[in-house]
Amino acid sequence: MSVMELFDLRGKRALVTGASSGIGRSVALAYVEAGAELAIAARNLDTLEVLAEEIAAAGGRAVPIACDVTRQDQVTAMVARATEQLGGIDIAVCNAGIVSVTPLLDMPLEEFERVQNTNVIGVFLTAQAAAKAMVGQGRGGSIITTASMSGRIVNIPQQVGHYCTSKAAVIHLTKAMAVEFAPHGIRVNSISPGYIMTELVEPLAQYHRLWEPKIPLGRIGRSEELTGLYLYLASAASSYMTGSDLVIDGGYCLP
């Protein structure tokens, strides 16, 4: 098999959550370009339908599905519809996530729980449902979770202790799933981005000038700069990789 064939996703069916914007949107577009058929999921169906139209205009196929990943019934329905519409599922990208800036001393329990529910429980429910579908198919598959460098370090100066907690949990949950799903031929890996200019980061403009001097590459990243890594983990090129957390942060975590 040639190098280019290793990265080819033609004939593969992928589910991407959090696909309406940011990293998820960029990953969805990259997977279509690589040949995959998609199910794209998020809370906002209108935005997903616009993306699906854009993908169709480029010659690809994407099935938009409204889903709140904190609701098990909606996640189950999402995976069922994705497998029905696409004829199966080979790749699942558990990408939906949220963040807010609140000091832990002042943080209401409800806010802490809200971040854990989306960032951790949402990943668990999506990965579990996708893995069950993959086991039923008997062909294995690849599950990719979006963690964060915040699962390895504590962000300064913004106060996001609940977010750091959630992403550390995602990294370790990914490793546990990798061990348990391996006998079924399902690989599970996480990607830990650094500061990437997405809709989650744009509102934190007051911090941008403080971050950039600490990033060896001297700038905040772009979501499309992550897509090669998501493609690698989805493809046959990473067939011997599971349980890994890959950091892509412009060197932020090095000092």
- The residues annotated as belonging to the active site are 148, 163, 167
**Helix orientation angle between 45-57 and 22-33, rounded to the nearest 10 degrees:** 30
Q: Mapping DSSP to helix (H, G, I), strand (E, B) and coil, where does residue 141 land?
A: strand
247 forms beta bridges with: 192
Beta strands in 98-185 (DSSP E): 141-146
Tokens of 49: 């339908």
Nearest residue to 143 (alpha-carbon basis) of 11, 5, 16, 44: 16
Residue count of the chain, please give it. 255
**Amino acid at residue number 132:** K
